Structure 1
């Protein structure tokens, strides 16, 4: 026999329904047969009691007048008509004085005299066995009037048993036919009802084969169980598709990151290794050549150190940015003023202006609760970016104050600006708008703006960019104002 787990849901539901239906039909058959039998027995008992009472009031009919042939000719059909084919009179000792029965019954098929003596005279009906055991009888007894004795009226139970048997057979046959019809109808109905689940199964199989864009079709009303299931599955599939897409994008970014890191590390390492090999081979005969090689090694080692520190900082910010901040109250105006001095020192020919946010009015207060050293690192990256990517002498404006409920510090230049494509990727790690730019110095590794944004977000702020080709660029640092409660 197949295990229930190997059966389909459709077949299991059908078997369960058929079993419940069979149990219900069986129960109905038993109850109906029992109720019919009780009804017939009650009716027979009433007839027997009535007839016994009548005969007990007129005992002379049975005792004083012997029944001849003419009398039997009248009595015999009368017994069949009243449904009491056996009458017996018992004396005080319990012996059968006279018995009258239908001519259709043999003497051996009647109840024995010993059985008749056991019938209570209170009118309670009892079941008796025939003398030959071939049938069962129902008997009622009552005392006779005017003399000591008992009259017993009895009727066979064969007709009642036959009626109950016919009803039982009828209910079994009709129940079996009904069970077959309802099972066939149930098989068809379950097939239609489970069709949406099969469509969901096919969709799941397609998704399992790699088609994450598939969705469960709308196979039922949203308020139904299958409708809820389809909706939940579609939400889950959308989340899975996004998760896989993000995973693929993350893996692509990781591959790009590893490639960029390898590329950034390879150049200084080759310079250091090449200079060291030249020295070991004795190719640097002059003191000036040795000094130049040591200078190159020191420069590249400094670049490696700066790159390594930047990568370590980014890793720390990705892991737990808040834990690396030492927050204190401060004002962004201090950083803005120092940034202006740094720009003038880098390029005295630049015109550096200090204004409010957006260039409106004088600089305003911008209190924050932040790590000053990290904010200086952000501003240094923004200032260095403006100095590196604009021609010498290009004017730069530094705005500071509050706007829209946040502290703002912005560095805006009038340089060449960027296209939308470059602006969308300028905060990516190792991204450069000009790949041909010299890589001397750690600031050109393409990590400065990525570090600036990561540090800003660690402070619950952000670094934003507004730019257009030929219209300059404005990098804006925004931070939350301190809680005054």
Structure 2
């Protein structure tokens, strides 16, 4: 029974109790009136009966009302206690559920739903803040290395390398190389920041088979001795051609950097179930920590000797996600890895 109905029935019962007590007092007075007693005595007796019965009725009404209200509002005390514990920082607390289909039950369900959303929001905020702190720390660490290198070579230049042509050329090459590396890192960080902010990308029809052919050609130009094959069927998606080209380039660059020269690579592009699929497969040594491969600044132990900040695959994941797609990786030790990118086609997006 709902709190409203219980309070209404309690008030009706208390009024009935008072009415019956008053009727009883009146009936007793009428019985005395029928007797041979004097009117003054009858009036005095009726007044006493009315006062006593009224006092008893008032006391009974007050006690029963207090008990009914206290019992009906007890869930509010539980809510207040829960709110106090939540205010002290315990977001896991919940309001005790009330009887179903009652005001307190509905209120408890609504508050618990709100508390769940608040706990989720705070958890996401803490995770986001921790991720941001880690991102800033990693970015600072990655930028510190080229800056320190540039500073060191500038110091060599100041100490007299300018008077030695061979040393001067070496110093300038190193400064230029580190400046270029720092510029690439800053560009990658800015791209990830834009993607995190959800800024809209260019949307136009893009032929993935043509992009894959360009990416493979560029990879072969970089490493002519590598064996990279392409099997591509015509498939068009609706997206940003520059960023999708970067996805293919980063996946192939990952193969070239982290597999031996004897390893082969294969790129497949094909439509499947209304979606576009890109697969980049290699016969390298495989990836040890697949679950962390798309984390920013993460570099596997076997790849720490190679250049790069560990942002290439993070950019792949972010760009694919911005196109409403998903990317996955499968890896078998000593047999190779396969990255699979799935994107909605133009027809799927409608």
Specify if TM > 0.5. yes
Match of 2:322 among 431, 435, 458: 458
Deviation at 1:333, TM superposition (A): 0.9
Is the 8 Å Cα contact of residues 237 and 343 (structure 2) preserved in structure 1?
Answer: yes
Equivalent residue number for residue 286 of structure 2: 417
Give the alignment of 1:67-466 within 5 angstroms. 170-218=49-97, 220-283=98-161, 285-322=163-200, 324-325=201-202, 327-355=203-231, 363-419=232-288, 422-434=289-301, 437-438=304-305, 440=307, 444-466=308-330
Q: Show CA shifts across 1:349-392 (max 9, x none).
A: 4332333xxxxxxx322111222112111110111111111111
Cα deviation per residue 1:140-191 (whole Å; 9 max; x = unaligned)? Answer: xxxxxxxxxxxxxxxxxx95x9878865653443132112123223323333
2:22–2:53 CA contact under 8 A, matched in 1? no
Decide which of 318, 326, 333 is 1:469's aligned counterpart. 333
Tell whether the 8 Å contact from 1:391 to 1:415 is kept in structure 2 after alignment.
yes
Aligned 8 A contact 2:283 2:336 in 1: yes
- In the TM superposition, residue 403 of structure 1 has moved relative to its aligned partner by 1.3
TM-score, normalised on structure 1?
0.61
Contact 1:29 1:168 in 2 (8 A): no
Are the equivalent residues in 2 in contact too, given 1:416–1:471 (CA < 8 A)? yes
Cα displacement (A) at 1:273: 1.1
How many angstroms apart in 2 are the aligned matches of 1:341 and 1:407? 21
Q: Is the 8 A contact 1:439 1:445 kept in 2?
A: no
Q: Which runs of 5+ in 1 are unaligned?
A: 1-13, 41-80, 82-157, 356-362
**Post-superposition offset of 1:223:** 2.0
Q: TM-score, normalised by structure 2?
A: 0.82
Q: CA RMSD in A?
A: 3.2
Match of 1:132 in 2: none
Matches of 1:391 and 1:301, distance apart in 2: 28
Distance 1:435 1:244 in 2: 37
Query: CA separation in 1, counterparts of 2:137 and 2:198?
Result: 25
Q: Deviations over 1:269-326 (max 9, x none)?
A: 111111112212325541110111111110011011111111111122222431x42x
| Structure showing greater relative contact order (alpha-carbon pairs closer than 8 Å, 6 or more residues apart) | 2
Deviation of residue 192 (structure 1)? 3.1
Shift in CA distance, 164/404, structure 1 to aligned 2, threshold 3 Å: farther
Number of aligned pairs?
330
Secondary structure in structure 2 of the residue aligned to 1:479: strand
Q: Which moved more, 1:467-476 or 1:311-320?
A: 467-476
Q: Is the 8 A contact 2:161 2:168 kept in 1?
A: no
Unaligned residue ranges in structure 2 (runs of 5+): 1-6
Could you tell me how far 1:25 is from its partner in structure 2? Answer: 5.6
Deviation at 1:435, TM superposition (A): 7.5
1:332–1:366 Cα contact (<8 Å) kept:
yes
* Structure 2 residue aligned with 1:51: none
Q: Kindly indicate whether the alpha-carbon contact (under 8 Å) linking 2:274 and 2:347 is maintained by their aligned counterparts in 1.
A: no
